[in-house]
Amino acid sequence: MARINYKFLKNKGVLQLVKPNQNLSQSHLLMSVKFLQSAKLLLNNNFYESATSDFYYSIYNSITALLLTHGIKSENHNASIELIKELFEKNELYNIAKDAKEERIDKQYYHETSATKNNLTEIMKSCQKFNLEIKVLLVGLKKEDIEKTRKRFESL
């Protein structure tokens, strides 16, 4: 993934600090669950390419929930994924999200390799792990943690 120019994205309004929004965060967590359920149904019915996409969007909605809880609005998928590493220092979660996005793009646009049940089963496990770890981060969150993250975001 190419290096993100945070200042440029902030100047364009694509990345911005907003008021932390628990309601919107919860809405994205619910969407994450729905995308995961949809992906599992698609996987079980051999719609592998569509399942790949829904697994990614499950992860992406969890990322969005985490960012909104901290009052960070992102309209750029790559930046959102990169912020997992930059702000939260969660390299494993960053890699899961990055890989899921790359799989989605490959399966949705390029069809260079076929999706397989075995491959998607691994993606499903990674997706479930990702979503669980995001929920753990959110449960233990304190006001001071939010402020610290917002300051880190401002310095990017």
In a domain, 156, yes or no: no
- Confidence check: pLDDT of 85 > 90: yes
Angle subtended at Cα 74 by Cα 22 and Cα 149, rounded to the nearest 5 degrees:
65
Q: 101 in a domain, yes or no?
A: yes
Residue 11 covered by a domain: no
Instruction: Establish if 1 belongs to a structural domain.
Output: no
For the chain, what is the domain count?
Answer: 1
Domain annotation covers residue 127:
yes
In a domain, 137, yes or no: yes
The sign one gets for the Cα dihedral 18, 65, 81, 31 is negative
Structural domain that includes position 120: 18-150
- pTM recorded for the entire structure: 0.95
Residue 63 covered by a domain: yes
- Residue 122 pLDDT more than 70? yes
- The whole-chain average pLDDT of the chain stands at 96
pLDDT (0 to 100) of residue 3: 85
What value does the CA radius of gyration of the chain take, rounded to a whole number of Å? 16
CATH number at residue 56: 1.20.120.330
- The answer to whether position 142 is within a domain reads yes
Of 2-6, 94-98, 122-126, which range is least confident? 2-6
First vs last C-alpha separation in the chain: 17
**pLDDT per position as a tens digit, 12-32:** 999 999 999 999 999 999 999
